[in-house]
Amino acid sequence: MSYYDYIIVGSGIAGLYTALLAKDAGSVLILTKGSIEDCNTKHAQGGIAAPIGKNDSPELHFQDTINAGDGLCDPEAVRILVNEAPDRIADLIRFGVPFDTVNGEIALTREAAHSVPRILHAGGDATGEHIEVTLSRQVRMSSIRVLEFCLATKILVDNGRVKGVQALDCRTELTEEYECCYVILATGGAGRLFKYTTNSDVATGDGIALAFEAGAEITDMEFFQFHPTATRLPGAPSFLISEAVRGEGGILRNVEGYRFMPDYTPDAELAPRDVVSRSILYEMKKTGSDRVFLDVTHIPSRRITTRFPHIYRFCLDHGIDITKGLIPVAPAAHYMMGGIKVNVWGETNIAGLFAAGETACTGVHGANRLASNSLLEVIVFSKRIIERTRETDKATQTPKLSQVEYFVLSDGKKVATAPQLTLSNLQSVIWDKVGIVRSGEGLTQAAGILATWQDSLLQPSDRPTYELNNMVLTARLMTEAALLRQESRGAHFRTDFPELSPKWQRHIVFKKVST
């Protein structure tokens, strides 16, 4: 059996960045179920937020983040995020990330709910791709061992402490165990649960399922962010149209050409994502259409083609010159605010098990993520994970997490009329009943279907069946959290409880019952 100091599961920015920091502290193995380039990071167009501008400050960034989180951010975690941001940006520059500049200074743009321009970008709208390519190149040139097409299937725990990972070779379908001192889950989100998503095919909630089955705490799963503007083109996958397009002056129009956002909110197109997503949904229903349009034709064409080259080229490939025509868009599932509960050092309640990136819940995002804080969260808290493991005496103890109220997954009222379990049916159920606008009735129906499906699951044997099992479990955690939270807050909106409730200014935490 192979032994490593660190096993990192996932090869997005969280996995790669953490691995590059860890290699100076010990031996490192990256397990990734696809190739090293398969991840969500490269789809991050808008950029990375950091308070480095002349009119900005960590305090201003702190307030914007807290406001977006709608009462559920962890102030300590947010303070760490904004205070450590400039140093972590400097780290990325040292790694070779080519941020865009104007007159020798890093260019900054503004996105919704930010009070000043503070978004760094690279290649216009290709920030995530540039970071991913830069870090993966560094990893390939290093001593880090990377096992591609290798799916982690179980976290091995002994007497309350991590001892390794069981993994499936997706090509041979053979299982092997790898021992280690520390496991860092960096598996990304769960956007593939939904019929419409901006996420890549790898975002199937694997880390959530692995951690839950190992006994880790899972929190805030009811909060899933929907991006207001993903392309809605026949026969084409949803493609993210960055928030920065609206930040640069893009206008939303309905199918009749009417600019509708000022009817819903004074902030119009620059309102928080949950507000814009619901407004678009209501407008689509009102006009009987499955889309609205984003209009940038009034913006100088040169500015569009240089600032958003990827978006411009994608639309052109699909027959739309966005400098002259409108972009058909609709909301799509985008980012998971909840996840594996960690403290400000990235530690879970299991000694030696850490989580980073979208699969982790640091408390930074609260009920609604502030745009472009996600990439920043990765580099700030990944750095802290490695710092913690270097403090051997602390990292080997079971971490003290805050006192929480635990919930357990219900037995679920099984339904006799559940559709057959397929990926397509799962995505339709979650989109229709656990999507942008929810109700107690719809959530109850979804919970019953998911409980029935989970009862019928067979022992997985290959990547598709493991992923489907992980998705059903992750979907149950999300659905039951949404059913428990009887209010509307941030990205979680219920028609039967449309108001925010002070008694729900708390977190729902699930933990597996030991049998």
The residues that bridge with 252 in the sheet, in sequence order, are: 294
Residue 271, burial from CB neighbour count under 10 angstroms (0-12, 13-18, 19+): buried
Nearest to 99 by CA among 57, 52, 141, 139: 52
Cα 451 to Cα 322: distance, rounded to the nearest angstrom: 45
Sequence-distant (≥ 6) Cβ neighbours of residue 109 within 8 angstroms: 47, 117, 119, 121, 244, 247, 248
Distance (Å, rounded) from C-alpha 172 to C-alpha 404?
Answer: 42
Query: Could you tell me the two tokens for 208?
Result: 């959530």
First to last CA, the chain: 28
Query: Which DSSP state fits 266?
Result: T
For 269, half-sphere exposure in the C-beta direction (CA atoms, 13 angstrom radius) is: 22
DSSP sequence for 1-65? -EEEEEEEE--SHHHHHHHHHHTTTS-EEEE-SS-TT-SSGGG--S-EE-S-STT--HHHHHHHH
Dist. CA 501–CA 493, nearest whole Å: 12
CA distances from 326 to 79, 125, 226, 250, 256 (A): 40, 19, 21, 10, 12
Active site residue 273: yes
Element (H or E) spanning 372, and its range? none
- Count Cβ atoms within 10 A of the Cβ of residue 358 and give its class: 0-12 exposed, 13-18 middle, 19 or more buried: buried
The neighbouring-strand residues paired with 179 are 3, 164
Q: How many helices (H) and strands (E) does the chain have?
A: 15, 21
Which H helix or E strand runs over 155? strand 150-158
Q: Which distant-in-sequence residues (6+ apart) come within 8 Å of 464 by Cβ?
A: none
Residue of 88, 110, 246, 273 marked catalytic: 273
Cα separation, 473 vs 465, whole angstroms? 13
Tokens of 189: 């989100």
Q: Which two tokens mark 356?
A: 């980073």
- Closest C-alpha to 371, from 332, 335, 338, 331: 335
CB atoms within 10 A of CB 156: 16
CA 148 to each of CA 32, 44, 59: distance values in angstroms, whole numbers, following the listed order: 5, 22, 41
Q: Give the active site residues.
A: 273
